[in-house]
């Protein structure tokens, strides 16, 4: 059975200790000058700026790229009007809801092509690749890069295990459990 090719970015599923997922949500802002759209499931990083909106101060985030220190993963976008998109459109000041707990486990799809990961790759680290998000579903196109798995501690994600489900087998587009390896709120991370 082949796996369905349905990238959704990083989807929170549980805590590192096996506890059910309970959102650790922090509200951040996005600057109107940022020309990159942000989708649900996208990893984000602190941009080093902030905004005051309705008397409240929010730190700005940008979509993270491979190698960035990650603040968390977008799990929702606060609509400004009834006509707002379900994702953060490019060059739009928006409030986004971000899962910031460094001990959250996420499900992520492995990229197309390359050499498929095996069960023995659990415990290694790997980078993610940013793909195009869907303006229809609002979901991220971020996937796990199967060409980067290694023991190096500077890679973006730690592969914690395989998603054991009837619709998931080892091979192209397999779904894996990961945690953020380079997290802004864990260990000794330099400020921005």
Task: Give helix then strand counts, H and E, for the chain.
Answer: 0, 12
Interval 75-92 mean pLDDT: 94
| 91-140: pLDDT as tens digits | 999 999 999 999 999 999 999 988 999 999 999 999 999 999 999 999 99
Is the distance from CB of 135 to CB of 186 less than 8 angstroms?
no
Asked whether the predicted pLDDT for residue 192 surpasses 70, the reply is no
Is the distance from CB of 138 to CB of 86 less than 8 angstroms?
yes
Interval 158-175 mean pLDDT: 95
| Number of neighbours of residue 120 by Cβ within 10 angstroms | 8
Asked whether the predicted pLDDT for residue 190 surpasses 70, the reply is no
Q: What band does 1 get if pLDDT is binned at 50, 70 and 90?
A: low
Please report, for residues 39, 118, 130, the alpha-carbon distance to residue 94 in angstroms, rounded to integers and kept in the order given: 12, 39, 21
Q: Give the integer Cα–Cα distance in Å for 87 and 105.
A: 22
| Number of neighbours of residue 54 by Cβ within 10 angstroms | 5
pLDDT of 188 reads: 56
pTM for this predicted structure:
0.94
pLDDT of 87 reads: 97
Interval 74-98 mean pLDDT: 95
DSSP line for 137-169: T-B---EE-TT--BS-TTSSEEEEEE---TT--
| 12-68: pLDDT as tens digits | 999 988 888 888 899 999 999 999 999 999 999 999 999 998 899 999 999 999 999
Q: Which token pair is 177?
A: 């459990």
């Amino acid at each position: 059975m082949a796996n369905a090719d349905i990238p959704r970015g990083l989807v929170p599923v549980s805590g590192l200790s096996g506890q059910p997922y309970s959102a650790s949500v922090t509200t951040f802002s996005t600057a109107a000058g940022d020309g990159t759209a942000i989708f649900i499931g996208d990893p984000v990083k602190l941009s080093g700026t902030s905004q005051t909106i309705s008397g409240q101060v929010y730190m700005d985030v940008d979509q993270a790229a491979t190698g960035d220190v990650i603040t968390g993963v977008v799990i929702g976008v606060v609509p400004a009007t009834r006509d707002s998109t379900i994702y953060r459109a490019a060059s739009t000041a928006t409030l986004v809801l971000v899962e910031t707990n460094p001990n959250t486990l996420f499900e992520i799809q492995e990229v197309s092509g390359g050499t498929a990961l095996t069960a023995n790759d659990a415990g290694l680290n790997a980078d993610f690749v940013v793909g195009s998000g869907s303006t229809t579903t609002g979901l991220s196109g971020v996937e796990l890069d199967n060409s980067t798995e290694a023991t190096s501690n500077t890679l973006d994600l730690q592969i914690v295990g395989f998603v054991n489900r009837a619709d998931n087998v080892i091979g192209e587009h397999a779904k894996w459990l990961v945690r953020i390896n380079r997290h802004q709120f864990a260990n000794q991370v330099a400020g921005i």
